[in-house]
Amino acid sequence: MLPTSEKKKWMYENMLVSRFFEEAMETIYMEGKTPVFNMAEGPIPGEMHLSNGQEPCAVGVCAHLKPSDVVTATHRPHHQAIAKGVDLKLMAAEIFGKKTGLSGGRGGHMHIFDADVNFACSGIIAQGLGPAVGAALSKQMKGDDSVAVAFLGEGAVNQGAFHESLNLAAVWKLPVIFVIEDNSWGISVSKADSTAVKHNAVRAQAYNMPGRFIADNDPIALYDVAGIAIEDARAGKGPTLIEVETTRLAGHFMGDAEGYRPDGELDRLKSKDPIVRMKNLLIDEGVITDDENLQITQKAQKLVDEAIEFARESDYPEPAEALDKVFV
């Protein structure tokens, strides 16, 4: 299933928005945190997991999704949220802890929830898998052709929830797709040190489920495979496991000194930056011109700038609002 030029452009634009968003995060996060790095300080306190380099995983899948499709995302959720169509301003405001944020500041960066586009995420490894299975069950019971997608890291694959969720999805033939973003690191622990198989796609065999491997962080190949998986799911053919070889271009979280990375790894990965490759591909294929690229880039940057501005200018919640929304 090959993407149209329109789709390719959408994917590229979306990747750019995502990257620019992360770059903004990177800068703003450090405000108030120098000279002494203190996670509690600045306009964006707390942990911050950036998705730089992993954009292909999100766009290759979400290019096929409609708002009623459900996505459960990870602790590293920005690219996934953006690709799913979460409102950028409201998300930025949430990350700043503002009253205008998606959840009025109760959630923060690891808890991006957008009911309008059925997006949720979590700070607990593999926690989103069960809910994705349940959303798929709901779709199946309602006779709706919507699907659910659960994103997870390769480190999360070794969590029991992975096994239980894939088995359940397969037994009930649910319309759910599990997408592993394999950046080969779980914080400082390498995949080789934590995982008994070389390719997690192999593990699909344990659930009698198709397992697909996408090499080299390739959004086009992923688009193809995800498209088939989602089409199958909509058609009642059950779940698929997709493993995407991707790259974490930042530290695990902001402040990570990354002493555990082998020498040269980061340079090697950066030389394969998926944004640059996607741009080159689109230009080489004649999908966009250099001029159009400039426009697209500027538009993406503007979207991000406006979101950040909205977030900055919004008010903080009243302290006592902490007590609201425990129950609906």
Ligand X SMILES: Cc1ncc(C[n+]2csc(CCOP(=O)(O)OP(=O)(O)O)c2C)c(N)n1
Return the range that interacts with Mg ion (CB under 5 A); candidates 136-144, 152-160, 162-170, 192-200: 152-160
Does residue 155 bind Mg ion (CB under 5 A)? Answer: yes
Q: Is 266 helix (H, G, I), strand (E, B) or coil?
A: helix
Bridge partners, residue 153, by sequence: 181
| Residue 93 or 166 having the CB closest to its own copies | 166
46: contact with another protein by CB under 8 A: yes
Which residues is 180 bridged to in the sheet?
152, 243
Residue 209 contact partner, candidates Mg ion, ligand X, its own copies, none, CB within 5 to 8 A by sort of partner: its own copies
Listed ranges 77-85, 100-108, 153-161, 269-277: which one lies at the site for Mg ion (CB under 5 A): 153-161
For residue 203, give the amino acid letter. R
Residue placing its CB nearer to another protein in the complex, 260 or 270? 260
Q: Measuring CA to CA, which residue among 156, 160, 208, 197 is closest to residue 179?
A: 156
| 133 binds another protein per the rule CB under 8 A | yes
Angle at 162 between CA 250 and CA 210, to 5 degrees: 95
Tokens coding 325: 């929304």
The closest of 157, 104, 93, 49 to 322, measured between CA atoms, is: 104
Residues 6+ apart with CB under 8 A from 328: none
Interface of this chain with another protein, residues 73 to 112, rule: CB under 8 A = 97-98, 101-111
Quick one: 196 or 323, whose CB is closer to its own copies? Answer: 196
Kindly state whether residue 23 participates in binding its own copies, applying the rule CB under 8 A. Answer: no
Restricted to residues 182-201, the positions that interact with Mg ion (CB under 5 A) are: 183, 185-186
According to the binding rule CB under 5 A, does residue 77 interact with Mg ion? no
* Least Cβ distance, residue 170 to its own copies (angstroms): 4
Tell me whether residue 8 or residue 139 sits nearer to another protein (CB atom). 139
Given ligand X, another protein, its own copies, none, residue 183, with its beta carbon under 5 to 8 Å by kind, binds ligand X
The yes or no reply on residue 178 touching its own copies (CB under 8 A) is no
159 binds its own copies (CB under 8 A): yes
Residue among 16, 61, 81, 129 that touches another protein (CB under 8 A): 129
35-69 as b/e, with b when 16 or more CB fall inside 10 Å?
A: eeeeeeebbbbbebbbbbbbbbbbbbbbbbbeeeb
Whether the CB-CB separation of 89 and 24 falls below 8 Å is answered with: no
